[in-house]
Amino acid sequence: MTDSAPTVDDRHPAEVVTAMVEQVLALATSWPAWDGTPVQVPVEGEQPRTYAPHKAVRRVADHRVDHLAELEARLAGRPTEPDAWHGSMVTTPADLARFTSEDLDEARSRLRRLAQIWDVRLRALSDDQLDTADQDAWTVRQVAFHVLRRLCGHPGLTALSCQAVGHRICCPTSTRPGRRTSA
């Protein structure tokens, strides 16, 4: 892992992951009002990241899947799949599609099912399993808290919601390029 180990607290990691998904979905309720203009979020020392509602849902789901695959491989004593995600650096044409109330319903189903898988898996582990590190990897508990910390308060997710409801003042770190036109 390249990031420093996340801080954990006394919450069960299953509660942390479930709460994070509900927080993201609460933000997403404003996204059907998104005007189609991607949000640019500065990243220190790198190109800005572009965010749109579909990309936000994709990245939340991908991050859950990535760490769930890592967790399952570690628990099975198998090597983890090398990380080949492009992450938030890539914005696909599908990411820029209009986000409808039906898309929100699909996001709710997808993310809540992923949260349930995490919840069931994490609650099946003992405290020893949650708190044992595998060589230089984080503990399972730390991975769960990392999942929370990476996305709650994420500037791209917050900026999308601020833009959708017209509160640009709450998103000082984002900039908006010219309005995207339909092709």
pLDDT tens digits for range 113-168: 999 999 999 999 999 999 998 888 899 999 998 877 666 556 677 777 666 555 43
Question: Is 20 part of a structural domain of the chain?
Answer: yes
- SS3 of 90, please? coil
Q: Tell me if the pTM is above 0.85.
A: no
Closest CA to 160 of 43, 44, 32, 58: 32
177 lies in some domain: no
Q: List, as one string, the DSSP characters of 30-46.
A: TGGG--S-PEEEEETTE
Which CATH number covers residue 145? 1.20.120
* CA dihedral angle for residue 116, residue 119, residue 124, residue 126, rounded to 10 degrees: 170
What is the structure's pLDDT at 94?
Answer: 95
Residue 133 in any domain: the answer is: yes
Which residues span the domain enclosing 84?
Answer: 13-170
Does any domain span residue 179? Answer: no
* Number of domains comprising the chain: 1
Alpha helices in 43-138 (DSSP H): 53-75, 101-123, 127-131
Within a domain: residue 75? yes
* 78 assigned to some structural domain: yes
* Of the candidates 62, 26, 24, 56, the residue with the CA atom closest to the CA atom of residue 174: 56
Asked if the structure places residue 6 within a domain, the reply is no
In-domain check, residue 85: yes
Model confidence pLDDT, tens digit, residues 53-98: 999 999 989 989 999 999 999 999 999 888 787 878 899 999 999 9
pLDDT at 88 (0 to 100): 82
pLDDT value, residue 12: 95
CB neighbour class for 19 (10 Å; exposed up to 12, middle 13-18, buried from 19):
middle
